[in-house]
Structure 1
């Protein structure tokens, strides 16, 4: 299992993992959660901008994966910083709409923050090693 983690969080794959994760978040926010607002509790006026942001992050990361910039560490620090900013914005929006969130909505947003923050920390670490 440790070797799988090393493969996933390698310079060769980290932008792909980030980009696919951001695309997944965009789909969840803009399609799934938006279709079931009463179940999750977050209004579409919040979900759509978050989904749009996730799309932009996916484009950034996937572009880096396919274009393979020479100074990839700088780009990796960039996406890590943007991921943390996305998390901070999401936490602020969660607090503003906390009363309308259901347990399922809160669970989705809290778990997403843990995943994205963990990824960002791995990205910062990887950008310093190579």
Structure 2
């Protein structure tokens, strides 16, 4: 059953890879908005320093720009671009986990919960991005 459930989004986005860039871009926009306009002004409730929140919100904005550019500009050859966003999303998760470790003493439960949920969502997205990229590359090599 596990394989079946994880296969559904990969099947869907393999047919519509452009939509995966839209999902990624909107997610990055939501992350940027949350970090800069919610967590930063209310950092006392989350515990992450404001300068760190500003910098990682800029990273989110860059990821949003990349994904939305792919959504609007790419016509085919999706696989390498999905791999790129999958890799940088993975690096973002590693950075976030490093920041959680570094600032753990000052993080609140709410802050810890926010970042852990964000990491879990991004890891799911990474899994889908790599799955779709592999599927598209396999289909392309079969032609």
**TM class by shorter-chain length?**
over 0.9
User: Over residues 15-73 of structure 1, what are the superposed CA-to-partner deviations in whole Å (9 max), with x where a residue is unaligned?
Assistant: 00000000000010111000111111111111011000000000000000000243211
Partner of residue 44, structure 1:
50
Question: Structure 1 stretches (4+) deviating beyond 6 angstroms?
Answer: none
Instruction: Identify which of 24, 39, 53 aligns with 2:59.
Output: 53
**Residue-pair matches, total:** 128
Please give the root-mean-square deviation of Cα atoms over the aligned residues, in Å: 1.6
Computing the radius of gyration from Cα coordinates, the structure with the larger value is 2
Alignment partner of 1:121 is 2:93: no
Indicate the SS of the match to 2:56.
helix
User: Over residues 64-110 of structure 1, what are the superposed CA-to-partner deviations in whole Å (9 max), with x where a residue is unaligned?
Assistant: 00002432110000000000000000100110000000000000000
Partner of residue 101, structure 1:
107
Q: Give, in whole Å, the separation in 2 of the partners of 1:90 and 1:8.
A: 26
The alignment's TM-score, normalised by the length of structure 2, stands at 0.84
Q: Give, in whole Å, the separation in 1 of the partners of 2:49 and 2:135.
A: 41
Q: Give, in whole Å, the separation in 2 of the partners of 1:117 and 1:7.
A: 18
The gaps in structure 2 that reach 5 residues or longer are 137-143
The gaps in structure 1 that reach 5 residues or longer are none
Alignment partner of 1:21 is 2:2: no
Instruction: Identify which of 76, 86, 92 aligns with 2:92.
Output: 86
Q: Give, in whole Å, the separation in 1 of the partners of 2:104 and 2:28.
A: 23
- TM-aligned CA deviation for residue 12 of structure 1: 2.8
Partner of residue 30, structure 1:
36
